[in-house]
């Protein structure tokens, strides 16, 4: 399974067999299936425990393999999605960031439209997005509505946007921040404990 992918596509230790607490819940109690006269045999217990641990590893790997079939739960399988989609595997990114890029790539197949760019942006930001077109100026604006401030993994989104947008179109971003009226309930002492960035993305109750 792992042999066809180059070294470096997996996080350190991912290619190793699971052990310890990872597999404890998957280890069966084989002793209960044996006749009662074996229950007090330490040798038999050692043998059964060793076999049971192998079953635990097998059960763990079966469930772990099933997780790789779905982007939201995949871990080492993300490298397979990335290879199939022509994406570069970046091990410095978190699993969640890599999943966002994969989802955006899947949404970005086909002819580029306003809806496609909107869907791709929403896949990265996790909130509502509007795309404002200025065809006479050969540009468009991506306005993040559902998320205050700059969404995380913007660099990943920009790289994806460069791949799916028509080459002749320029683009810019517009972010949503807290308006001053939302901060009137703060005392100076409360506000003084927050950074400027905290205040800019504060969501009132």
H or E segment to which residue 164 belongs = helix 154-164
Question: Quick one: tokens of 110?
Answer: 């086909």
For 134, the 3-state DSSP assignment is strand
Q: Are 124 and 157 in contact (CB under 8 A)?
A: yes
Question: Quick one: tokens of 150?
Answer: 């700059």
More confident residue, 111 or 190: 111
Task: Check pLDDT > 90 for residue 182.
Answer: no
The strand ranges marked E within 12-153 are 129-134, 139-148
**pTM (2 d.p.):** 0.49
φ/ψ of 148, rounded to 5, equals: -80, 140
Task: Check pLDDT > 70 for residue 6.
Answer: no
Q: Which pLDDT tens digit goes with each residue over 35-60?
A: 888 888 889 999 999 999 999 999 99
The 10 Å Cβ neighbour count of residue 1 is 11
φ/ψ of 102, rounded to 5, equals: -65, -45
Q: What is the pLDDT of residue 192?
A: 52
As a whole number of Å, the end-to-end CA separation of the chain is 50
Q: Are 89 and 79 in contact (CB under 8 A)?
A: yes
Q: Which of 14, 22, 124, 129 is nearest to 77 (CA)?
A: 14
Question: Do strands 139-148 and 129-134 pair parallel, antiparallel, or not at all (unpaired)?
Answer: antiparallel
Q: Which pLDDT tens digit goes with each residue over 68-106?
A: 999 999 999 999 999 888 888 888 888 988 888 888 777
Q: Which of 115, 122, 70 is nearest to 100 (CA)?
A: 122
């Amino acid at each position: 399974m792992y042999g066809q992918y180059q070294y470096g596509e997996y996080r350190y230790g991912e290619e190793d067999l699971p052990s310890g607490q990872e597999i404890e819940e998957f280890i069966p109690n084989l002793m209960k299936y044996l006749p009662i006269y074996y229950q007090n045999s330490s040798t038999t217990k050692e043998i059964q425990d060793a076999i049971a641990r192998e079953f635990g590893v097998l059960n763990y790997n079966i469930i772990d393999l099933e997780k790789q079939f779905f982007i939201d739960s995949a871990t080492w399988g993300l490298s397979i999605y990335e290879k199939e989609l022509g994406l570069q595997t970046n091990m410095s990114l978190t699993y969640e960031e890599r999943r966002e890029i994969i989802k955006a790539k899947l949404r970005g197949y086909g002819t580029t439209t306003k809806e496609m760019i909107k869907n791709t942006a929403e896949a990265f930001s996790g909130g509502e997005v509007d795309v404002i077109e200025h065809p006479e100026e050969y540009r468009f604006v991506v306005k993040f509505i559902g998320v205050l401030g700059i969404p995380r993994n913007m660099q990943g989104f920009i790289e994806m946007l460069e791949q799916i947008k028509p080459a002749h179109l320029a683009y810019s971003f517009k972010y949503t921040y807290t308006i001053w009226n939302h901060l009137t309930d703060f005392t100076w002492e409360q506000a003084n404990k927050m950074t400027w960035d905290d205040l800019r993305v504060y969501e009132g109750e």
